[in-house]
Amino acid sequence: MLRLSCLMLALISVPAFGEDWPGWRGPRRDGTADASVYPTEWNEKKNTKWKQPIPGTGHSSPVVIAGKVFLTTCVDIADDGKTPAKRMLLCLDRKTGEQLWARECLAAPLEPKHKLNSYASSTPVADGDRIYATFHDQPALRVYCYDFAGKKLWDTSPGEFHSVHGFCSSPLVFKDLLIINGDQDPKKDGKAYIVALDKLTGREKWRIDRTNRLRSYCPPLLIEVDGKPQMVLTGSKTVCGFDPATGESLWTVKGPTEQFVSSPVFQMVEGRLPAILGLPCGAITAAKWKQPTVFLTAGFPERWVMAIDPRGTGDVTKSHILWSKKNDGGYVPSPVVDKGLGYVITDEGFYSTWDLLTGRTLCKERMKGHQTGSLVVASGHVYFTNDDGETNVLKTGALFEVVAKNNLKEKCYSSPAFSDGDIFLRGEKHLFCIGAK
């Protein structure tokens, strides 16, 4: 696992400042934090380093890198469908929360969206000295690149985007590429696509024409299998693996459902082979092995929990699904994995723990409130914040052990960032930095 983590950090070209959170769900894009000790309890007086008002609204997550915090928002909102609203990129000082600069990326009328979505839901991604943000300028999808001082380096549109639910997928940095999910509703003159841009210039490098044209909102996941990088993507009625350097299709699982929102995760799960010929009778020690496992929850109209072996080629629907279970998955919140266990929270608040090798449910409990944000594993605990702003902190492991419940006292629809002992939580009106003072 340590070797894989080092490889992944090298692949996305992000320097770790013990450790930064450079994009959606962190440096590994899977909701796992570094080895720092993170607070499990906080309130207005305890373990709150700062609380900064954020203008406008948005559900994107904070990005923490090189002593700065980046955030997108939408301001000057008018619901008349005509008045331009400003989509902004904000930069804050990590230590104090002070706003260092704000840039208007786009001013345009509001696009159609789901009531639980926002006009600034796509989390930016950083690569060490640049920050990339995406917004919907209907009908166009627009991509913006700024340096850390706030200078715009380029902006471009890779194509149109059509969805009755709005836009939210976050971009992925892979080496010299910026990869964007353009899955969308079918249009007579439009196409669903995955596109890779040169991150220095914005010029297109490759494009995938998605055959099942249907909206999805899933950021790509970067993994490493048998020494080679893969980009895993759920959406368009499939789960697929691609070569991130070229866009070449590697493998496909059909289904398990129509639409996807939550992000998949990956782990090399350690198991043990059964006793083999030559071992003493009753031997309790057997050869170890590791199973590469893509773990996901999806979606609409059916909810699934599924584990996939990403080592196949072509259509692997009948050969590489390790296990699956219907009607137990979440739709919007993304799961997290740690030490052979998968942790899931559903939109309705059902928390469950899964054995990744067998698919066995180890615990299942109902939590309070509706859930939009995704889970994070940090310092032996599972963190997740419901829409009412209450963060549940549970011990990792097969047992259901609640450690603390912490309330921001304002709504929260985004996922947190964890970096070097600090937790960054975006509420409806403020950005909070939680950490030992």
Contact 425, 408 (CB under 8 A): yes
- Would you call 8 helix, strand, or coil by DSSP? helix
Element (H, E) at 4: helix 2-11
Is pLDDT of 251 > 90? yes
Query: Taking the CA of residue 98 as centre, how many other CA atoms within 13 Å lie in the half-sphere pointing to its CB?
Result: 4
Residue 32 is classified by DSSP as B
**What is the reported pLDDT for 188?**
58
Give the chain's domains with CATH numbers: 2-272+289-434 (2.130.10.10)
Pick from 32, 64, 59, 62: nearest CA to 265: 32
**What is the reported pLDDT for 283?**
47
For the segment 401-420, what is each residue's pLDDT rounded down to a tens digit?
Answer: 999 999 999 999 999 999 99
Amino acid in position 418 = F
| CA distance linking residue 211 with residue 230, whole number of Å | 20
For the segment 14-32, what is each residue's pLDDT rounded down to a tens digit?
Answer: 433 469 999 999 999 999 9
Strands 390-395 vs 402-407: parallel, antiparallel or unpaired: antiparallel
Contact 215, 258 (CB under 8 A): no
Q: How confident is the model at residue 291 (pLDDT cuts 50, 70, 90)?
A: very high
Residue 170 is classified by DSSP as P
Q: What is the CA radius of gyration of the chain?
A: 21
Mean pLDDT within 94-110: 96
| CA distance linking residue 297 with residue 251, whole number of Å | 19
**What is the reported pLDDT for 213?**
74
- Give the count of beta carbons closer than 10 Å to the beta carbon of residue 332: 23
DSSP 275-337: P-TTSPTT-----EEEEEEEEEEE-BSS-EEEEE-TT--EE-TTTSEEEEEET---SSS--EE
Token pair 């297109």 in the structure block, residue: 204
Q: How confident is the model at residue 12 (pLDDT cuts 50, 70, 90)?
A: very low
**What is the reported pLDDT for 235?**
86
- Would you call 351 helix, strand, or coil by DSSP? strand
For the segment 80-96, what is each residue's pLDDT rounded down to a tens digit?
Answer: 667 899 999 999 999 99
Task: Give residues with Cβ within 8 angstroms of 8, minimum separation 6.
Answer: 27, 28, 222, 223, 224
Is pLDDT of 210 > 90? no
Tokens of 370: 């509706």
- Would you call 130 helix, strand, or coil by DSSP? strand
Element (H, E) at 384: strand 381-385
For the segment 306-355, what is each residue's pLDDT rounded down to a tens digit?
Answer: 999 999 999 999 999 999 999 888 899 999 999 999 999 999 999 999 99
Amino acid in position 93 = D
